Amino acid sequence: MSLNTSPAPSRKWLALGLIALAQFVVIMDTSIIGVALPEMRADLGFTQGNLTWVFNAYVVVFGGMLLLGGRLSDLYGARRIFGLGWVILLAGSLAAGLAANVPTELVGRAVQGMGAALIAPAALTLLMMLFGSSPRELTKALAVYGAAAPAGGTAGVFLGGLLTEYASWPWVFFVNIPVAILALVAAPALLPGGRGAATGGVDLIGALTVTLGIGAAVFGIVRAPEVGWAATQTWGVLVLSALLLIAFVVIQARRREPLVRLAIFRTPQLGAANLAQFLLGAAWIPMWFFLNLYLQQVLGYSAFPSGAALIPMTALIMIGMIVLAPRLIARFGTKSMVVSGLVLLSAGLTWLSLVRPDGNFWVDVLPASLVSALGMALAFIPSLGTAISSARPEEGGLASGIVNTSYQLGSALGLAAATAVGAAVGANELGDRAALTDGFSAAFLLAAGIALAGAALAAVTLRGSRAPEPAAESVTV
């Protein structure tokens, strides 16, 4: 990536902290609402059926707008779009926290998703601008960035519980406001500015079709377990999504200045790395989701202790990404790490499928979750780095949008599939610990199969690559 301004070395790592904070918040906003949902239902008049849309409204808009966010970053400058995203996230958080009824709450969550869709690809583009010229520094920066995601997910569970218990549910949204203000103040001092390297304008028709197409796909996937995969509504939405995405491809092929240059998918490694990210999300998110349910519904943990039970796994992911992954990538190369990481994730998930109705944390959860976490840590960084570094400099934002979209779509599809499989075996039988355990076990096994398929596909599609040996001096973050 070209750099318009060259910050001092110490400021580069402060800038990385701001970029990692963005990733932390974007992921935290998906998990922080969990504990607050019962109070929101009572105060705002949600039904049990539509309560899930407090989560889904954010995810659908976030996933649908990522490609547009990446393109805007390339056109108008990553720092400018990064700042705009924080302004929108701040506005959405304020609206969601002040909401007095269901429609206002869902609109606020959708606006939060819109802001996140601008922040996420811009943050990755800024990371590449700052560290892309040094493979050694880039690997370490990606490790810090990647570690912020599981930290945000676990912190969301903790913060949601604390804020709901000791303040009130609106504070799960208001907590974003000071962070957004901090980001807006710090960004001009720490992040490289200037316009984007891409030329042309925004393909509004292309942006509309792909945003609606991806949004419809995510909508259909996340709603399918609720209304049924065979329901007319499910297939109607998914067919509409397919038609919109086909129209998008046709439009892009004919436009002189498309939103997405279709030839980018012929870039070596980009497609393979995005496939790995897609399957990684499809395996990991169901594991995280159903592990929480097992802890609470079978082992009887309340929300706060169940969050504490995730700390060892989260800590290992962060250590693995920051300490282990860069060194192992340098020694064995990206392909070996992606494949071995996905195999380890599959092994951990298979182990988790052995959970028992009368189990306990130390035997049934901790060892298997640590194996899964190590696999995630080893596979995530090399596949992410390969996906965003394969593109041309002027398409860095687009590449960031594509890889974010791949992971989010994989997460939504994997969770929906695991939910359907788990429900068919007994995951909806509240109060029946044996049936619940059977359902969760089936979901873990499905996720294990997805991870193993990801390992096989990565072995076939990724090219071998070896990162340069680290220099003698170390970089202090």
Max avg pLDDT among 252-256, 337-341, 413-417: 337-341
Specify whether the CB–CB gap between 20 and 182 falls below 8 A. Answer: no
Tokens describing residue 333: 């190369």
Q: What mean pLDDT do residues 61-81 have?
A: 88
Tell me the average pLDDT of the chain. Answer: 86
The residue whose two tokens read 């998990």 is: 31
What's the pLDDT at 79?
Answer: 94
Q: Is the pLDDT of residue 112 over 90?
A: yes
What's the pLDDT at 2?
Answer: 42
C-alpha 109/C-alpha 44 separation (Å) is 14
Which range, of 13-22, 220-229, 344-353, averages the lowest pLDDT?
220-229
pTM of the model: 0.83
Domain ranges of the chain: 1-202, 209-258, 264-477
Which range, of 98-112, 233-247, 406-420, averages the lowest pLDDT?
406-420
Q: What mean pLDDT do residues 190-211 have?
A: 77
Q: What mean pLDDT do residues 326-346 have?
A: 94
The residue whose two tokens read 């182990």 is: 351
What's the pLDDT at 195?
Answer: 65
Identify the band that residue 48 occupies on the pLDDT scale cut at 50, 70 and 90: low
Q: Is the pLDDT of residue 476 over 60?
A: no
What's the pLDDT at 468?
Answer: 38
Q: What is the CA radius of gyration of the chain?
A: 21
What's the pLDDT at 446?
Answer: 96
Tokens describing residue 219: 């909508």
Which range, of 33-37, 252-256, 446-450, averages the lowest pLDDT?
33-37
Long-range contacts of 347-352 (CB under 8 A, 24+ apart): 347/371, 347/375, 347/448, 348/287, 348/372, 348/373, 348/374, 348/375, 349/283, 349/287, 349/444, 349/445, 349/447, 349/448, 349/451, 350/444, 350/445, 350/448, 352/287, 352/291, 352/441, 352/444
Specify whether the CB–CB gap between 138 and 385 falls below 8 A. Answer: yes
Q: What is the pLDDT of residues 24-42, one digit of tens each?
A: 999 899 878 877 877 888 8
Contacts of 411 (CB under 8 A, 6+ apart): 281, 282, 284, 285
Higher pLDDT, 17 or 226: 17
What's the pLDDT at 400?
Answer: 85
Contacts of 452 (CB under 8 A, 6+ apart): 342, 343, 346
φ, ψ (nearest 5 deg) of residue 462: -80, 140
Residue 297 is classified by DSSP as: I
Q: Which CATH architecture has domain 1-202?
A: Up-down Bundle (1.20)
Higher pLDDT, 467 or 456: 456
C-alpha 275/C-alpha 472 separation (Å) is 34
Contacts of 14 (CB under 8 A, 6+ apart): 190
Higher pLDDT, 447 or 309: 447
Q: What is the pLDDT of residues 127-184, one digit of tens each?
A: 988 988 888 888 889 889 988 888 888 788 778 878 877 888 899 999 999 999 999 9
C-alpha 163/C-alpha 155 separation (Å) is 12
Identify the band that residue 477 occupies on the pLDDT scale cut at 50, 70 and 90: very low
What CATH class has 264-477?
mainly alpha
Q: Is the pLDDT of residue 285 over 50?
A: yes
Do you know the residue count of the chain? 477
CATH topology identical between 1-202 and 264-477: yes
C-alpha 56/C-alpha 33 separation (Å) is 11
Share of the chain above pLDDT 70, in %: 92
